[in-house]
Chains A and B, each alone.
Chain A
Amino acid sequence: MTQIFTVTELNERIKDRLEDDARLHDLWARGEISNVVNHRSGHRYFTLKDRDSQLSCVLFRSQGSPNFEMRDGQNVLVFGDVGVYRPQGRVQLIVRGIRLDAGLGIRQMEYEALKKRLASEGLFDLERKRDLPKYPDRIGIVTSPDGAALRDVLRIIGPYPALILLSPAQVQGDGAEKSIVLALRALRGRTDVVIVCRGGGSAEDLWCFNSEMVARAIFECDAPVISAVGHETDVTIADFVADVRAATPTAAAEMAVPDLEELRSEILRAEVRMARALWSGLERRRERLDYLSRAISARRMYSLAAEARQRLDYIAERMGTAQKERLKSQRARLELAQGRLEAVGPMATLSRGYAIARSQNGLILRADDVQPGELVELLLAKGRVLARVLECKKDEDVTH
């Protein structure tokens, strides 16, 4: 059946058809500028032409100004999408980027376009950046096995007790992108953190780290990724996708593992704190030693105290002078405590003139434990005495 369109309907249909075609989006075109019109609205209209053909182009104000003064006759590279201006039925290129065509710059535009696209997809989102593990057990490294970067990284993480998994990659030249992607994938499920790195080089050398393939492979890594490509001033797409960007391979390695000295002194501090806590626990209990000497034998207390002292000696050896002094005074207190411990043992007490009084019912601790007339036994430092009770004064406080 023949369909009769209105002009509007027909233009609508052409517009839909052209603008739905993915091949007419995100495209590059090369040509010569003519008929430049800088419209009052801030939009720029021009024609892009070559020897045989020409095409209307529009650069909307929202895209910003090009970094050069547009003039007829300039050779340019433009980036954009094909669209249809319906009121005039005009096919045109909606320009999103424009550069003078000197054979340079096209790669830079690709870089910008890729960066923009990946950013809009969320690959650079801060919310998805993962924290690095504090104490990684397995560290993956994707780099060239022959590069200085690997040696830099190993110098830092070598002394740290983790398994280091090298996933070798070609980091420049043809095939580098593919190689980096495969090396990243090979580490899947095998590491707690991944370092992707290479040393400095020309922009050309580093270019593989600006590839979409590598960006996505980093994004898909199951462990957090630290990237360190080139020197501090080189920032690649890989750096944007990585969970953390380091300025250099050495810096990346320092981020991957904790500082060993720091860790050692942390452990030492834990030792000191434990010994102190144990000591102060002993001290607090000194006031209750009468009670404790019944619950725990004196010998047990001695060995506890001796143990704490041994720890303190050991730690003192490993610590600075100031700390040593402090420990010395603690040790003095400990010895004092030991002396007092001995003092409360029964023999020491008896030798000071005290006696243990017993009846046939056992120890006499209170006046009403015995009756007047009852026989009692007194244990002395040397020997014992049998005695008879004359009187029991129950209600009086007896002070020593």
Chain B
Amino acid sequence: MDLEEALDDLERIVAELEEGKLGLEESLVLFERGMSLVRLCNARLQSAEQRIESLTGELPSDLC
């Protein structure tokens, strides 16, 4: 799942929870899913080492 999908899903879940029409158990399941999306997004943002590739395969040494 890419970041954009995760954020879209998260936004949907928040909106659905805030709407407050769900049963308690459903909200709990949704809350769980929302939290795992939050963890996923944060992990994606934290693990952003520079991943640079060059189409010619050659990168100046200061960029590797």
Min CB–CB distance B32 → chain A (angstroms)? 9
A304 and B18 form a contact (CB under 8 A): no
- Mark contacts of A268-282 with chain B using CB atoms, 8 A cut-off: 1 yes-contact digit, 0 otherwise: 001101110110111
Min CB–CB distance A162 → chain B (angstroms)? 8
Q: Which residues of A sit under 8 angstroms from B31, Cβ to Cβ?
A: 274-275, 278
- Among A187, A260, A277, A278: residue with most chain B CB under 10 A: A277
Min CB–CB distance B29 → chain A (angstroms)? 11
B24 and A285 form a contact (CB under 8 A): yes
B63 and A154 form a contact (CB under 8 A): yes
Considering the chains assembled together, what is the distance between the CA atoms of A67 and B10 in angstroms? 61
Considering the chains assembled together, what is the distance between the CA atoms of A137 and B11 in angstroms? 19
Q: Which residues of A sit under 8 angstroms from B28, Cβ to Cβ?
A: 278, 304, 307
Known A-B contacts A137-B2, A168-B58, A280-B20; the reply to A274 vs B52 at CB < 8 A is no
Considering the chains assembled together, what is the distance between the CA atoms of A214 and B21 in angstroms? 55
Query: How many residues of B sit at the interface, in one of the four size bands?
Result: 35 or more
Min CB–CB distance B34 → chain A (angstroms)? 5
Min CB–CB distance B60 → chain A (angstroms)? 5
A187 and B55 form a contact (CB under 8 A): yes
B41 and A164 form a contact (CB under 8 A): no
Interface status of A264 (Cβ within 8 A of chain B): yes
- Mark contacts of A152-194 with chain B using CB atoms, 8 A cut-off: 1 yes-contact digit, 0 otherwise: 0010001111111111100000000000000100110000000
Q: Which residues of B sit under 8 angstroms from A285, Cβ to Cβ?
A: 24
Known A-B contacts A164-B52, A274-B34; the reply to A145 vs B60 at CB < 8 A is yes
B residues adjacent to A (C-beta < 8 A): 2-4, 7, 10-11, 13-14, 17-18, 20, 22, 24-25, 27-28, 31, 34-35, 38, 41-42, 44-45, 47-48, 50-56, 58-60, 62-63
Q: List 12 A-B contacts (CB under 8 A).
A: A135-B2, A161-B48, A167-B54, A167-B55, A168-B58, A187-B55, A263-B45, A267-B45, A274-B38, A277-B17, A281-B20, A281-B27
Given contacts A151-B62, A158-B48, could you give 11 more A-B pairs where the C-beta distance is less than 8 Å? A145-B54, A150-B63, A154-B52, A167-B54, A168-B56, A263-B45, A271-B38, A274-B13, A274-B14, A278-B28, A280-B20
